[in-house]
Amino acid sequence: MYGAGGAGDAQENGDATVGVQINHSRRLPDFLLSVKLKYVKLGYHYLISNLFTLCLVPIMIIVLIEASRMNPNDIRQLWLHLKYNLVSVIICSAFLVFGSTVYIMTRPRPVYLVDYSCYRAPENLKAPFSRFMEHSRLTGDFDESSLEFQRKILERSGLGDETYVPEAMHSVPPKPSMQAAREEAEQVMFGALDNLFANTKVKPKDIGILVVNCSLFNPTPSLSAMIVNKYKLRGNIRSFNLGGMGCSAGVIAIDLAKDLLQVHRNTYAVVVSTENITQNWYFGNKKSMLIPNCLFRVGCSAVLLSNKSANRRMAKYKLVHVVRTHKGADDKAFRCVYQEQDSAGKTGVSLSKDLMAIAGGALKTNITTLGPLVLPISEQLLFFATLVIKIFFKKSVKPYIPDFKLAFDHFCIHAGGRAVIDELEKNLQLLPLHVEASRMTLHRFGNTSSSSIWYELAYTEAKGRMRRGNRVWQIAFGSGFKCNSAVWEALRNVKPSRNGPWEDCIDRYPVKVVSE
């Protein structure tokens, strides 16, 4: 029986192998065609992108040839005409000076990212899967079905064994008190800010604008007031505390700081992005509210922005665009990430089964606005041509997906979960290299909410991939529902800052993430 079975398997495997070979031989012309189309598209892109230059060169040659044929007397007559028509020259000069002055005074002031810092928790706060599950079992709050559900989510999440949870969650039973939540907030915010001030040598008294965002923990006095008190910031500081705005609030905070830097001259702005887990752990058995327990982990970022022209030389990046999309007018989008109480009165954040579809719609709206700002003209023409065919000729044409790889060198996709990264990789037709920073951040630090995009940027720098002129797309999703984008341009070859989050582990990455 064994021998016959083995032979039968071998025969079946042999047939399968032949079948695969035949399929590959049939697909070879298709493969060659796809390669040819790739190079055709690449050639089209370069042609359209350099069309102005290609047209300008022959025109300049013709002008130079005609100028060389001009009679010296004609040139002398033109000079005398300008010389004696003094009024015209003065009026033209006045308009030129006036126009230049108005442009300089009204143009948006450039916003520079001087440096940033990401908090890394101490080793004793690590939460490997085994410890996470053991503590969940010992709390006595979860039934067997909920424990099994959490185990499956952890296995499929894309998180590794080195993520961090706050001190209160390491106690058995957990101690999610207000005092413990304050201590977590102080630990992560002050840890990130201490490192930022040490690296940049900027004095806290020089900070003119402070923006803090934390979605679920809003004590009184506020988190921004805690920072002002700790670092003794000046009395006329413009401080803001953003709450309840979800994982995309980091980009919103950058946008607010950018607007303030257009008004207040020669100053620094600090943006602190974090989330507080201590008082927002869910101790019930509703499946949709257990997912955040498995994904969210400790993290914080502190970003130093400036509008001082003198800071351009030392800055890492320049802010190019911020595009914000809000889908809150739609009821489904509004409730897809919703903080509420379950039937037992226990508070948590519920995630809707429609979350990915809603995120996809928000992304589509966002890139419709962002695309014309960043995509080369070659991609915009292709997109416009598809739209014209669909509208005016009533053809059932598949929507053209612009190639954002032509606009950006690096992608920082919010590490909200493996499914989020997978979906954007597929929809934006990205390569594994483009989402590596997001996957590795999720694996090493988990979902750190609004600060995750900065851990991803730090990963790219630690790998030595950031070159002068490179463009970075930070994209984040948040409750409400929101999709927000920030575009940065590297002003130099960027090296990682001291005490970065990847400093002692970057050589171990990337790691292979097993997908269930």
Q: Which residues of 95-133 are buried (b: 16+ CB within 10 A; e: fewer)?
A: eeeeeeeeeeeeeeebbbbbbbbbbbbeeebbbebeebb
Provide the percentage of residues in the chain whose pLDDT is more than 70. 81
The neighbouring-strand residues paired with 380 are none
H or E element at residue 333 = helix 331-335
Q: Cα separation of 345 and 356, whole Å?
A: 27
pLDDT at 469: 96
Q: Give me 408's structure tokens.
A: 């950006």
Catalytic residues: 247, 326, 410, 414, 443, 447
**pLDDT digit string (tens) for 30-72?**
443 444 444 455 555 555 555 556 676 677 777 677 666 666 6
SS (H, E, C) 397-412: CCCCCCCHHHCCCEEE
Beta carbons within 10 angstroms of residue 391's beta carbon = 10
Residue-range domains of the chain with CATH: 48-107 (no CATH), 112-508 (3.40.47.10)
Q: Which residues of 486-514 are buried (b: 16+ CB within 10 A; e: fewer)?
A: bbbbbbeebebbebbbbeeebeebeeeee
**pLDDT digit string (tens) for 140-153?**
889 999 999 999 99
Q: Cα separation of 320 and 479, whole Å?
A: 25
pLDDT at 20: 33
Q: Cα separation of 219 and 184, whole Å?
A: 12
Cα 433-150-297 angle, rounded to 5 deg: 55
pLDDT at 77: 67
Predicted model pTM: 0.82
Cα 184-243-421 angle, rounded to 5 deg: 80
Enumerate residue ranges in the chain where pLDDT < 70: 1-54, 56-57, 63, 66-87, 89, 103-107, 394-395, 397, 399, 514-516
